[in-house]
Amino acid sequence: MVSPRTTRLTAFFLIDSDQFEKYFIQWVSDLAQLQPREIIAIDGKTIRGAKAGGKKSPVHVVSAWANDNNLVLGQVKVSEKSNEITAIPELLKVLSIENTIVTIDAIGCQTEIAETIVKKNADYILAVKDNQPQLLEHIKDEFRFGKTTESNLGQELDHGRMETRTCSVIDNFKFIEKTNNWKNLTSVIKIESKREFKNSEKPAQHATRYYISSIKANSQDFQKAIRSHWAIENKLHWTLDVAFSEDASRKRTGNSTQNFSILNKIALNLLKNENSLKSGVKSRRLQAGWDNHYLIKVLNLMKSLMRLP
């Protein structure tokens, strides 16, 4: 005899993941009130526990994180025969991102992705690395021989580390042609960072990173926007692993990996919006499991957010 739990799980992995993602994005678009010029960070995450016997690659999903709203806006699974370059435009097409700033790591530094963002009436800040060698060389030449518009110095002390970041901006190009293929390219940015370790003999670490943007802004604003991108790692990916043990999940039958990933993000959005309990997401999740009154409060929040009678 098949147990009710097995029946529920079987039904769950048979749900059409594409439709589930579609309705999730529609729900969040009604829930979120995106602020003008809000940072929308897009990045991918591998669910490593979904790998089965060496026959399948781990499931990889690309998600969008609204920094001010503290919400996951949506996700798209990366096809096994594809990569993030094709998944990111699919996610962008279904998101409402007008008048926001989209930030993506170097994998998303593609002319088609920049054009898609601009067509959605949004702006972009894209990291540039060796996957765009010609563009990277031109940006380096701008900072080597051109005139920097301005620079901003920022410092941060955290966990015994002192990080100093200098952000420099150029918006009057000499080495990047105006006829370039990057839609609305307006500024190039350089971030030079120095990380020193307090009470340690470890040598200081130096790094230089480059970005392109469709925005004309000062170096302080770029410094803040680029730092904000990493919220998707700390507030989304890290939280999914710590509070929901997503990376350790072995669910992989049918569509279960993708569907549970969406379910985790629904729960995460609800728990981050339920603020009566002054604790982290993991503690709120445990409380919802222990205390039916608190669980009902979280579920009622979902009802109110969905504007149900």
pLDDT tens-digit map of 9-30: 556 667 777 888 888 888 888 7
Which range has the worst mean pLDDT, 24-33, 155-164, 187-196? 155-164
pLDDT at residue 309, rounded to an integer: 45
Is pLDDT of 80 > 70?
no
Could you give the percent of the chain with pLDDT greater than 90? 38
Is pLDDT of 286 > 50?
yes
> Model's pTM, two decimal places?
0.86
Q: What are the strands of the beta sheet with 101-104, ordered from one edge?
A: 71-77, 59-66, 39-47, 101-104, 123-128, 205-213, 187-197, 161-170, 150-158
Indicate the SS3 state at residue 57: coil
Burial 108-122 (b: 16+ CB within 10 A, else e): bbbeebbbbbbebeb
Q: Give the residue-averaged pLDDT of 179-203.
A: 85
pLDDT at residue 203, rounded to an integer: 76
Residues linked to residue 43 through DSSP beta bridges, in sequence order: 63
**Residue with more model confidence, 247 or 267:** 267
Q: Give the residue-averaged pLDDT of 98-117.
A: 95
Is pLDDT of 308 > 60?
no
Is pLDDT of 175 > 70?
yes
pLDDT at residue 53, rounded to an integer: 53
Q: Do 195 and 129 contact (CB within 8 A), yes or no? A: no
pLDDT at residue 9, rounded to an integer: 53
Mean pLDDT highest for which of 56-60, 103-107, 156-160, 299-303? 103-107
Q: CA 60, 72, 116: angle at the middle one, nearest 5?
A: 75
Cα–Cα distance between 278 and 262 in angstroms, integer?
25
- pLDDT band per the 50, 70, 90 thresholds, residue 3: low
Is pLDDT of 266 > 60?
yes
**Residue with more model confidence, 238 or 55:** 238
Q: Do 14 and 76 contact (CB within 8 A), yes or no? A: no
Is pLDDT of 1 > 50?
no
pLDDT at residue 48, rounded to an integer: 67
- pLDDT 10s digits, 290-303: 999 988 888 887 66
Q: Give the residue-averaged pLDDT of 59-69.
A: 90
pLDDT at residue 304, rounded to an integer: 58
pLDDT at residue 49, rounded to an integer: 57
Mean pLDDT, the chain, as a whole number?
A: 84
Residue 15 carries which DSSP code?
Answer: S
Q: Give the residue-averaged pLDDT of 39-67.
A: 78
Please report, as a single letter, which amino acid is at residue 94. Answer: V
Tokens of 94: 């279904």
Q: Which domains does the chain have, with CATH numbers?
A: 16-105+229-309 (no CATH), 127-219 (2.20.130.10)
- pLDDT band per the 50, 70, 90 thresholds, residue 162: confident
Is pLDDT of 105 > 90?
yes
Is pLDDT of 57 > 70?
no
